[in-house]
Structures are given as C-alpha cells and as structure tokens.
Amino acid sequence: MARRPLPRILSTGSAQIARSRELARTATDSATDVLQPLITITRGLRRLASAGRRRWAETPKDRRGPLLFLVASVILVVTLMPYGPLLAVITLMAAAAWQGRDRTPPAPEGPDESQTQRLQSLYEALVPYFSTAEDPSPLYAHGGDWEEAFPAYEFDGSGRISHLLIRYPAYFPDGEAEPRARIEQLLTAKSGRGREYLLTWDEEGNELTVAVLAPLPTDICAQRFVTAPGETVLGFTDPSLVQRTLPLGYGEEQRDVPPVVWRTGFRSTEPHLLVTGQPGSGTSTLLRSIALQALQYGDVLIVEGGGTGEYACLTGRDGVLGVEVGLAGALGALEWAAQETERRLIAANGARQTGRTPPDDTRRPLWILLDRPSAFTHLAEADGHKDPQSLLQVPLRHGRAASVTVVVAEQLDSLDVLSDVVQQHTRARVVLGRASAGQLTAVLGVRPHTTPVDHVPAGRGYARLGAGPVHRVQVPATPDPYDDATSDVHRQAVLDLLPPRTAPVRMEKVDAEMTESLPVPVPVEAAVAE
C-alpha cells in the first residue's frame, strides 16, 4: 500500500501559524494607525459622558430642575441658529478629541544629570585603557564626549547601569586575557558591585556589551527531575544559555527552569566529574544530589575523606554498595572498584568477540563518589600505605567503556594534591562558592563571561562540561537530613528520594564474590587490545 503523505497543515503548520500571527500583528498595527483619530474621539466622548454623570450626581436634587431647563434652552437655541447643529457637532468632536488625547508623560529622551555623571565617570575611567598617544582621532580622551563611545545604555530603578554597549578602538588587544580582565574588573567596580554582569565581546565589531544578570533561584530543593537514563542534573542556570527546561514543583505550583545536564555513559565525551570549592560552598550537597539521581538506574559507592558523616543517610540503602570513611575501607573499596572495572571490560570484550550482548551486570551504571581524597593521601603517606588515588587509574581511564563514572570533590586549596590521572580525566568541572578569576581559569580552563561576586549563597558557582561554554549554576538544595540545622521541608524532600533501607553491603563480601567470579587476571591494556 502506498504511503499517503501528511496533510499540508501538519507538515508546514508551524510555519503557517507563525506567518499568520505576523500578518495579524501587522494588520492590527495598521488598523490602529488608521483608526487612531476615531479611537481618540471615542475615548474623549467616554470621558465627557463620565464627567457629565459625575456632575449630575453631585448636583443637589432641588437644583436639577433648573439645570435641565438651562440645558434644554441651550439645545433649542443651537437648533434654531443657522448652522447651529453643525457647529455643535464640530465643537463636541473638538472637545472629545482634546479630552481623549494621550496624557501619559513622554519618556525622557536622554539620561538625567546623575546618569550623565555616571556615564561620564565611566568614560573617563576607560580612557587610559582605550587610548594611545599615537591615535590621531581618539575615541577616548580626557574631557571627551561619551555619547559616541556609549551608543546604547539603560538604567534600573536605583539609577545604576543595567545595560551598556561600549565601542572601543580596533587596536585594543581584545584577544588577550589580561587586558580583557582589567576592563571587566573596572566595569564591575564602576557599574555597581554586588551584581553579576554578562560581558559579551564582539571582536569583529569592536563592541563590548555589559548586561546585568538576574540572580539564580536558590529555593529549588531536591526532587525527581524529568531526565533520561545517563543524564544528571548538576544545577540550574540562565535561560539564555541552554535550550532546555525542566518542570519543577514548588508545593502546588510548577515552573520551568533551565538545567545544566551532564551526560554520562559510553557515548559521553566527559565521563568523569571534578567538583571543587571552599569549605561550606556546597560540594557535599552536589555529591548527595548526584547520588540520589544515580540510584534510580545504578549502584553507588561512596568514599568520604572528610570524616564528617555527610553521607550517613545513604548507608544501607538499596543500590548503595558502601559508605567508607576510613583509610582501610577506602583502599578496599577502591581496589574492588578497579577489579570490577576490569571484570566488566573483560566480560564486555568477550561478548563482543562472540557476537553476543554484554551481560546486564556490565551495563548497569556504577558510580564512584569520592569526597576529599586528599585526606586519605596524607594518611596513607603517614602510615606507609598506597595512595587511594592510584587505584582510580583503571576506573578513570576505562570507566566509560565499563559504565563506571567517577566523581571527585576536593577543596580549592588542596587541588595540587590530586594526582595527574584525576586531573587529566575529569574534564567536566564545577566550581562552587567564592573563587578568584585566576582560580576559575585554572579549574575551568577559560575565564567565565560573567563577573563573580564577593558574597554567594551555598551551592552557587560555575560549571563547564569539557570544551563547552561556562555556565552559572545553582545546585539544588540537598542537605544532610540528619543535620539539626536542616529545615523540615528540605529534610523531608531528601528523605522522600532515599531508596528503601536494606541490609548493609560489606565490601569484603563483595570483593570476595567478585574475586571468585573473575577469570584469571588479565592486564587491562591486553584486554582492551583484544
């Protein structure tokens, strides 16, 4: 049977609807321009009628009779006069047109005195950076005119700059990081501190656009996100940077918020994540959020070096292989993780060679979450044990093929303790809390297009997935439900997401079972080469 084509309304419906809306909008604007005099006169007649009714209501009852007699006499005289009715209609239309005129005060054509002073001050501050003595006709000069340098500007209700378009000379080195950083720091100081600015450099047009960013929502708590398997929500960002939104619940209300989605699995280009920040910035909160999302489709192994019990709520839960807080437990857990990665690689390779589907246990995602591994490094050096980070070499290098994902959280002042393998294979990065421009550039690889602020809420920072753009991010509130300082709403939200509690899984038993099921040990490089 021949396949019938779709109706034209279904194949080109969206284009026709958009075109129809544009035509309707154009016709409405044209009709409004043509009928503007009639609209003005109608509005004036309505206002005159309202004034007449109001005057009649205010007139005392004993005076309404003489008033009616006076009005009737005037109408009779006008009717008997030559051209009286015509003159009366003309007078009435003129009065209606005058009463129906637009009385809204006109918008000011230019900035007021305080705004002009602010723009002139900003212009004078940019002169040393955007001018040279060899320029025959400088765009920036002391005592010059700022109007040509700032063709577009907007101010908010407090009188501070909210949007500004800056033109600069072509010889300014806008391709270098240090000159751009000096300009961005100056604009932040002169435009008003305490706000975040989006700075967009147009190198081809020699223009810089400064826009004030709205603060990210901080009232988003942990909940089930509408995502596919292999997708993890790191946080939420600006709507102009992503093309996707997620429906979030706020009690009985819902709203759509743009997320920062990290994709893992064998098709991912950034299979592992590094989270860093100052103490109290929300790194443990992000790891708890990731663990709750990962438990929907896989297993989670948690190794905590801080020893603060941030993940005690996950102990013994279904899908949680273990929560290790000591050096011996961390070494055993990470050694088992390395052997499990090897076992998965060997099983998947054998299945591919025989043309079979890999076993289900090799395709179930395994998440390894490490919080502050530098603490174990110092303990291992003091006790003469192996550094636990050395056991991450196999999961980091071959984890994508074995459905193993590694997430490492470390403080900014301890990043130099991380091994080269960890820093090389964690190309997805998140920086939370207050950080300088140099620290952001060192971790993310590039300088963010937004200016950091001095005071940020917990869970607030920047995220970059591989070689993609840098996003502002706000981590959903996922506190420790056993913490006394946690609010009841957030505590209940986390408890609702926890899997049911089962018998605690001992890593020694798991290690023994996996060792018995493993074939003769084969180096990973040889297995991959086969």
308 carries a ligand binding annotation: no
CB neighbours of 337 closer than 8 A, spacing ≥ 6? 301, 366, 368, 391, 395, 404
Residue 491: CB atoms within 10 A of its CB come to 18
- For strand 404-411 and strand 273-277, is the pairing parallel, antiparallel, or unpaired? parallel
How many other β-carbons are positioned within 10 Å of the β-carbon of residue 474? 25
- Measured between alpha carbons, how far is 323 from 305 in angstroms, rounded to an integer? 11
Neighbours of 36 (CB within 10 A): 11
Ligand-binding site membership of 283 (annotated): yes
Angle (nearest 5°) at CA 469 between 246 and 461: 70
Beta strands 152-155 and 161-167: pairing type? antiparallel
Residue 278 annotated as binding site:
yes
- Ligand-binding annotation for 517, yes or no, is no
Measured at the CA of 272, the angle between CA 269 and CA 274, to 5 degrees, comes to: 125
3-state helix, strand, coil in the chain (%, to 5): 45, 20, 40
Q: Does the annotation place 284 within a ligand binding site? A: yes
Q: Which residues of 226-240 are buried (b: 16+ CB within 10 A; e: fewer)?
A: ebeebbbbbbbbbee
Residue 44 CA to residue 222 CA, distance in Å, equals 56
Q: Is 519 known as a binding-site position?
A: no
The answer to whether 511 and 336 are in contact (CB under 8 A) is yes
Residue type, 283: T
306 assigned ligand-binding residue: no
Distance, CA of 318 to chain centre: 32
In this structure, the strands spanning 428-432 and 460-465 are antiparallel
Confirm whether residue 355 is marked as ligand binding.
Answer: no
**Quick one: how far is CA 130 from the chain centroid?**
32
Instruction: Please give the annotated binding residues, written as ranges.
Output: 277-284
Instruction: Please give the annotated binding residues for ATP, written as ranges.
Output: 277-284
